[in-house]
Structure 1
């Protein structure tokens, strides 16, 4: 006599409904995370750009005090960047560009920033940097302080 066994189908995977629920949960989590990551990137980009500008201005001031007074920081509104230039040797030291989608506007600041031998800016002024979501007012005051950045 032979014994017949009824075979039930083996269940090796997930059902379609379970897969849809898991994919939906992942989609919701990712849709919350990606905008947060982009905002963090924009803040980091702004912080690094402003810090670099401060350091470049400090370098210009330092070179003017210790080497000679013929170093200038030249801002270009059209290209959205600036150049540290040695007018005595007639050569650029470096060029920096603002990140894409950034713009600058010089209001009372002259395009060329110079320091005297004591490290005091020759012509004070104000400029604005426009980031995609924020505007920064940058003030170059009289005296030996370098600059002040205000978020508007």
Structure 2
């Protein structure tokens, strides 16, 4: 009889202890899954904003290297923008379906670079991606494109 009691006391954990441990472990595993999508959206919008700035600089470099006026024109219904001069150099679909370009102080909803790389007009335009808003400032002179998150 004494041997049986000793065997039961060293058998292991109770069902309650196992359930508490498993519930704590499952909460620790699920917490990153809850917070990860919000940080991924922020990262995605920043990458889209960076890519658009690089495309503006690409248009400027194409204008200087080909010696022609290069335009970035936005097509809202098709959800794309195009970089073209004498031919179409780049057609980029919007990376997010909720992207909206709007002119703040630029005349029209396009950006043009002259043969020497200077922009035809200076000003600011806005890019809305989901709940984030970015302002792109195009200054007169070569290589001066700034953007910031509003």
TM-score (norm: length of structure 1): 0.75
Give a deviation string over 1:103-122, Cα, whole Å, max 9, x none. Answer: 33222222221111221100
Contact 1:138 1:148 (C-alpha < 8 Å) held by counterparts? yes
Q: Secondary structure at the match of 2:58?
A: helix
Cα RMSD, aligned residues only:
2.7
Q: Distance in 2 between matches of 1:104 and 1:74?
A: 10
Pair 1:130 & 2:128 matched: yes
Structure 1, gaps ≥5 residues long: none
Give a deviation string over 1:49-106, Cα, whole Å, max 9, x none. Answer: 12211211111111101113232111234454311123x23x4532231323333322
Quote the offset at 1:15 in angstroms: 4.5
Q: Distance in 2 between matches of 1:100 and 1:30?
A: 31
Partner of 1:53: 52
Contact 1:57 1:146 (C-alpha < 8 Å) held by counterparts? no
User: Kindly tell me: are residues 80 and 19 of structure 1, through their superposed partners in 2, closer, same or farther at Cα, counting changes over 3 Å?
Assistant: farther
Q: Distance in 2 between matches of 1:132 and 1:49?
A: 11
Structure 2, gaps ≥5 residues long: none
Q: Distance in 2 between matches of 1:37 and 1:77?
A: 30
Q: Which has the higher helix share?
A: 2
Alignment size in residue pairs: 145
- Which of 86, 100, 103 is the matching residue for 1:103? 100
**Runs of at least 4 residues of structure 1 off by over 6 A?**
none
